[in-house]
């Protein structure tokens, strides 16, 4: 009896979505080859070491731990097989012009904090988080797991009802500003949607599920660094038999008569039955595919609202710093002005908000003894031209703020100083306009409105990653890789 032939699938990109897809595909018995242009895995979650410091280059917030746990459980593993996860307490601090809010990990303490600032606000927050929990459960367990290829997937009465319950059509800002007046509390509640790359006024209220993730599920950290998560995915993929090919930039996806036949690397063709590209969607469509097979026009891409790019400083400091926690949000400047410079009138911000992560506050392994590992991130409009002058100005701006805040000299204690900016996102990841976090999650870029996970024009071609459904962030990208792989397997009857 003839055995059915093992299908050969290629995955492009060893970021979180590519590795999740590869694991899912290999687990179903296909032969998976994963091609990555860089020297190692992780994509935006790459890391580097210098002078005894270990720097995560991208993500630093480990939110929605249940999503990662569920993923590993599906393959008979636990995250604890690979790393130790600790919950941060306090979760983070927000520094305003004249004071600060330290956000506790215990929700009862958070209610007390709200009430002490604005009487009555805790009652609102309780109700708001109850709603947010429903949204999280419906949104993260059901909506995001649909392939979102057609609205018909949602034409189930229960889900339609849920769409109204989760306030898909109401603005996030409205759902809060009517009830909370204090600007500090407003910013605390609005900050998680900034992760989603849009102003709160343009974000559907659905995304208050992020507040549930923040205030109830908490901020976690894998000891050893965020990179431990990527290492875990890499090892699970190896266990499943995925063949990794690093330093392998895919140059072209070969298509014959509307069907994928393979891909081209270093001018050599390789044959595959299907391809799942988890590289930046825009790059795949505009560089790897011939024009007749592209689904989206240039005008389409130009009209997309992108979440920000970022200017990042990775600093090794040769002493301990006071008054900083693991996560610190410097919200000392005008929130709206900075948001406008990102979304409305792209420009280098005069007086930006910024974020400082000091993982050495939790984890001694990421800096030499007595030193501090400091990551500074300033959100910028995607597509801006890099400017050494502006980068230097913002470096001085951030260091001045840090010195004032800590009351310590920092500049002369910098022993490692590496930077990443807009054009580096393009050269490192082929990122569209140098975006850091993909497309903004506005209503018109949610679900079916996102670039599709299955090509409309090419049989055997699938997509995953932060420019696709369900969107940016580690948990959504993990899910994106998985649902795209599941769709591929279903279409191929595997
Ligand atoms: C600075 C920063 C901070 C962030 N902070 C957080 C956070 O705290 N928490 C959170 O949850 N999320 C965060 N995010 C978002 C999160 O990191 C991303 O949404 C996610 O990692 C994107 O994964 P991906 O697989 O879609 O893409 P990527 O990680 O970009 O992976 C795509 C891979 O494809 C490769 N590739 C591209 N072109 C080719 C080609 N032609 N051939 C072969 N390979 C190719 C790239 O090199 C890359 O490795 C952050 C992102 C950034 C940039």
- For residue 37, the Cα-to-chain-centroid distance in whole angstroms is 20
Give the C-alpha separation, 43 to 13, whole Å: 7
Q: Which residues of 92-121 are buried (b: 16+ CB within 10 A; e: fewer)?
A: bbbbeeeebbebbbeeeebbebbeebbeeb
Class of the CATH domain delimited by 106-148+155-217: mainly alpha
139 pLDDT band, cuts 50/70/90, is confident
Q: Which atom of ligand 1 is nearest to the CA of 265?
A: 42
Q: How far is ligand 1, taken at its centre, from the CA of residue 15, in Å?
A: 5
Mean pLDDT of 480-493: 97
pLDDT in tens, 182-200: 999 998 988 877 666 777 7
List the structure tokens of 60. Answer: 């630093």
Note the CATH number of domain 8-42+67-83+225-303+441-491: 3.50.50.60
Closest CA to 208 of 234, 229, 179, 230: 179
Q: Which atom of ligand 1 is nearest to the CA of 13?
A: 34
Using a pLDDT cut of 70, give the percent of the chain over it: 95
List the structure tokens of 189. Answer: 């509640």
Closest residue by Cα to atom 4, ligand 1, is: 59
Using a pLDDT cut of 90, give the percent of the chain over it: 77
pTM listed for this prediction: 0.96
36 close to ligand 1 (CB < 6 Angstrom): yes
What does the CA dihedral 437, 441, 444, 450 come to, rounded to 10 degrees? 50
Q: How far is ligand 1, taken at its centre, from the CA of residue 45, in Å?
A: 6
Residue 147 confidence (pLDDT): 86
Residue 286 confidence (pLDDT): 97
CA distances from 474 to 60, 113, 335 (A): 10, 29, 25
CA distances from 86 to 34, 227, 328, 452, 475 (A): 31, 15, 18, 36, 17
Half-sphere exposure of 487 (CA within 13 A, CB side): 24
The more confidently predicted of residues 290 and 131 is 290
| 454: DSSP letter | B
Residue ranges of the chain assigned to CATH 1.10.405: 106-148+155-217
Q: How far is ligand 1, taken at its centre, from the CA of residue 277, in Å?
A: 13
Closest residue by Cα to atom 53, ligand 1, is: 436
16 close to ligand 1 (CB < 6 Angstrom): yes
Q: Phi first, then psi: what are they for 417, rounded to 5°?
A: -145, 95
Is the bond preceding residue 435 a cis peptide, omega within 30 degrees?
Answer: no
Is 157's pLDDT higher than 70?
A: no
Give the C-alpha separation, 247 to 21, whole Å: 20
Dmax over CA atoms of the chain, in Å, equals 78
430 close to ligand 1 (CB < 6 Angstrom): yes
Q: How far is ligand 1, taken at its centre, from the CA of residue 145, in Å?
A: 20
Question: If you average pLDDT over every residue of the chain, what do you get?
Answer: 93
339 close to ligand 1 (CB < 6 Angstrom): no
Residue ranges of the chain assigned to CATH 3.50.50.60: 8-42+67-83+225-303+441-491
Is 166's pLDDT higher than 70?
A: no
278 close to ligand 1 (CB < 6 Angstrom): yes
List the structure tokens of 456. Answer: 């409309």
pLDDT in tens, 62-94: 999 999 999 999 999 999 999 999 999 999 999
Q: Which atom of ligand 1 is nearest to the CA of 425?
A: 53
pLDDT in tens, 3-53: 678 999 999 999 999 999 999 999 999 999 999 999 999 999 999 999 999
């Amino acid at each position: 009896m003839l055995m059915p032939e093992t299908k050969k699938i290629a995955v492009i990109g060893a970021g979180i979505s590519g590795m999740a897809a590869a694991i899912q595909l290999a687990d179903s018995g296909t032969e998976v080859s994963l091609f990555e242009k860089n020297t190692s895995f992780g994509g935006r979650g790459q890391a580097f070491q210098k002078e005894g410091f270990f720097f995560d280059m991208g993500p630093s917030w480990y939110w929605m731990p249940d999503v990662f746990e569920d993923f590993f459980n599906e393959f008979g593993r636990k995250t604890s097989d690979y790393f130790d996860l600790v919950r941060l307490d306090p979760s983070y601090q927000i520094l305003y012009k004249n004071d600060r809010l330290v956000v506790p990990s215990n929700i009862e303490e958070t209610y007390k904090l709200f009430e002490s600032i604005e009487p009555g606000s805790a009652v609102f927050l309780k109700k708001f988080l109850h709603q947010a929990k429903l949204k999280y459960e419906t949104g993260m367990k059901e909506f995001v797991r649909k392939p979102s290829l057609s609205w018909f997937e949602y034409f189930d009465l229960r889900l339609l009802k849920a769409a109204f319950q989760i306030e898909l059509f109401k603005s996030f800002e409205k759902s809060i500003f009517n009830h909370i007046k204090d600007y500090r509390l407003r910013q605390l509640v609005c900050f998680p949607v900034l992760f989603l790359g849009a102003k709160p006024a343009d974000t559907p209220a659905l995304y208050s599920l992020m507040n549930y993730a923040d205030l109830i599920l908490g901020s976690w950290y894998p000891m050893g660094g965020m990179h431990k998560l990527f290492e875990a995915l890499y090892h699970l993929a190896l266990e499943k038999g995925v063949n990794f090919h690093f330093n392998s930039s895919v140059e072209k996806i070969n298509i014959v008569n509307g069907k994928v036949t393979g891909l081209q690397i270093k001018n050599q063709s390789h044959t595959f039955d299907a391809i799942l590209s988890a590289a930046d969607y825009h790059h795949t469509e505009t560089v790897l595919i011939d024009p007749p097979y592209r689904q989206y026009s240039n005008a389409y891409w130009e009209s997309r609202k992108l979440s920000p790019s970022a200017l990042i400083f990775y600093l090794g400091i040769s002493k301990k710093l006071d008054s900083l926690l693991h996560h610190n949000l410097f919200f000392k400047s005008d929130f709206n002005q900075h948001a406008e410079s990102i979304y409305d009138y792209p420009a280098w911000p005069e007086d930006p908000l910024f974020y400082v992560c000091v993982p050495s506050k939790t984890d001694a392994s990421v800096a030499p003894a007595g030193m501090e590992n400091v990551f500074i991130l300033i959100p910028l409009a995607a597509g801006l031209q890099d400017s050494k002058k502006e980068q230097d100005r913002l470096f001085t701006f951030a260091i001045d703020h840090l010195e004032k805040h800590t009351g310590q000299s920092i500049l002369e204690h910098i022993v490692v100083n590496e930077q990443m900016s807009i054009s580096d996102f393009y050269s490192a990841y082929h990122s569209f306009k140098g975006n850091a976090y993909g497309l903004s999650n506005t209503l018109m870029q949610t679900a079916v409105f996102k670039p599709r996970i299955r090509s409309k024009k090419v049989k055997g071609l699938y997509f995953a990653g932060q420019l696709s459904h369900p969107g940016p962030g580690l948990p959504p990208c993990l899910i994106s890789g998985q649902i795209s792989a599941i769709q591929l397997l279903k279409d191929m009857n595997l």
